[in-house]
Amino acid sequence: MRITVRVPDDLGDIVKATTDNVSAYVTEALREKIARDRRRKARQNILDGIRDYEGPGVQEGAEEQLRGGSGGTVIGRAHDWTGYGLLFSSR
């Protein structure tokens, strides 16, 4: 598919100087942006599901859990709207 896009001159100059294949470069950048947006939305959906299930104030712990946490002992399991169990641990 062909799409015509107007970008600021300075951005166009940077892209042209960076790559010989502008189409491939822009395609990869768009795919990365779309994937990042989808991950961000999925993360927010998970956090919203935890908040709905556990109540207010659990977002900070849930965010840490999504980042990998700091270890600890598993103290509970919540099931969010996806049906998957989410583990919560103590520090």
Residues 46 and 66: beta-carbon distance below 8 Å: yes
Check residue 60 and give its pLDDT: 65
Q: How far from each other are the two terminal CA atoms of the chain, in whole angstroms?
A: 51
Check residue 65 and give its pLDDT: 65
pLDDT digits over 13-70, tens only?
A: 999 999 999 999 999 999 999 999 999 999 888 887 776 766 655 666 666 666 665 5
Residues 80 and 50: beta-carbon distance below 8 Å: yes
Query: What's the whole-model pTM score?
Result: 0.52
Count CB atoms within 10 A of the CB of residue 62. Answer: 21
